[in-house]
Amino acid sequence: MMNKASESKNKIYAMPLLKNIGLQAMDRKGWNLLQCPVCNCKCFEMPQARVLKSLGYTGMCTECMLKHQFGTKGEDNAN
């Protein structure tokens, strides 16, 4: 059984990074370019984010989400 602290830790959704998908995402309906609240990198908030926010989820860029969920293990070995 999860306690509230670990449950809220896991209420995170990833926002695609601009550097990973490029500006073509600007043409997608409902995609908004903004900054990650953790690292300030440019990323996209997708339409599904509105639903997730209403359920108490927090958005951050893909890199920050992975670091938050899995820590920095293996970061030194990344390409």
pLDDT tens for 1-41 read 445 555 556 799 999 999 999 988 888 999 999 999 999 99
Assess contact for 50 and 31: CB atoms under 8 A: no
Annotate 11-22 with DSSP letters as a single string: -EEEE-BHHHH-
Query: Token pair 């690292």 is at which residue?
Result: 39
d(CA 75, CA 54): 32
pLDDT at 45: 95
Alpha-carbon gap, residue 70 to 57, rounded angstroms: 17
